[in-house]
Amino acid sequence: MIAFLLKHWFYLGLLLLGLIYFSKELLPSNKGASAFTFPAKAENKTKEVAELGISSGSTTMVSIFPEVEEQEERAFLKRFSKVVQTEQAKYGIPASVLLALAYVNSFSGHRALTRTHHNYFAFQCGSGWEGKKVEIGMYCYRRYETAWESFRNASSSISATRWAQALVDRNASLEDWLGALVENGYSDVRDAQRLMSTVILRYQLEDLDGREVP
């Protein structure tokens, strides 16, 4: 055996080197492993939509509610208090809720869309709108001849939805109404729910909900 090894040591050495080389090729290598990274998490569009206070799929811009003098706030709320009470009697939407929505979406009547085209709720045209329209930038908004037309269209449009009917049927709280309006895309104003809740509490607009129309 020893004589065999001594005679063939050169070939045996080559065979051993070959085995070592091929074993390295077959074993997994860690070379470059540190360069691998997990894919970045996809951007959360739902969070963006929720922050904007608009319904998914909408392309409505975000509006920022401006500073409004208290005297101007009171004048706006007083002007439309009877209107929203009438709308509540007809459609069931709490007067305080409808008034707060108009207040926020129209910037207390100071929004250009409101002053020029009587659109107090910043309603866009939508595919089913057959009334008058106005193009502002890349957006199409509903245009009305009077403020009353805007309030009536808002009442009829909102009350026609299933979620609004459900809220009417169970006599939902004001906060439920405000949350549903924002969730279903009825305001393009940032932090709309808080703004509506604040104006209702500050001026005790809930008192309008239980009063008869003068």
Assess if residue 172 is contained within a domain: yes
Assess if residue 35 is contained within a domain: no
Specify whether the CB–CB gap between 182 and 53 falls below 8 A. Answer: yes
Task: State the residue range of the domain holding 163.
Answer: 48-210
For residue 71, the domain's CATH number is: 1.10.530.10
Assess if residue 160 is contained within a domain: yes
Assess if residue 124 is contained within a domain: yes
Assess if residue 133 is contained within a domain: yes
Question: Hunting for tokens 């604040």 — which residue is that?
Answer: 198
| Residue whose C-alpha is closest to residue 105's, from 180, 188, 197, 204 | 188
**Which parts of 39-183 fold into alpha helices (H)?**
45-52, 70-91, 95-105, 112-117, 147-159, 162-169, 174-183
Q: What domain count does the chain have?
A: 1
Assess if residue 24 is contained within a domain: no
Specify whether the CB–CB gap between 56 and 46 falls below 8 A. Answer: yes
Taking CA atoms, 95 is separated from 86, 91, 207, in Å, by 8, 10, 9
Taking CA atoms, 85 is separated from 13, 88, 92, 125, 181, in Å, by 102, 5, 10, 26, 18
Q: Which two tokens stand for residue 6?
A: 């001594």
CA 11 to chain centre: 78
Per-residue pLDDT of the chain (214 residues; tens, 9 = 90+): 555 545 555 555 656 665 655 555 444 444 443 332 223 333 333 332 333 233 333 335 678 998 989 999 999 999 999 999 999 999 999 999 999 999 999 999 999 999 999 999 999 998 889 999 999 989 999 999 999 999 999 999 999 999 999 999 999 999 999 999 999 999 999 999 999 999 999 999 999 998 655 5
Largest CA distance in the chain: 124
Assess if residue 38 is contained within a domain: no
pTM (2 d.p.) = 0.71
Assess if residue 191 is contained within a domain: yes
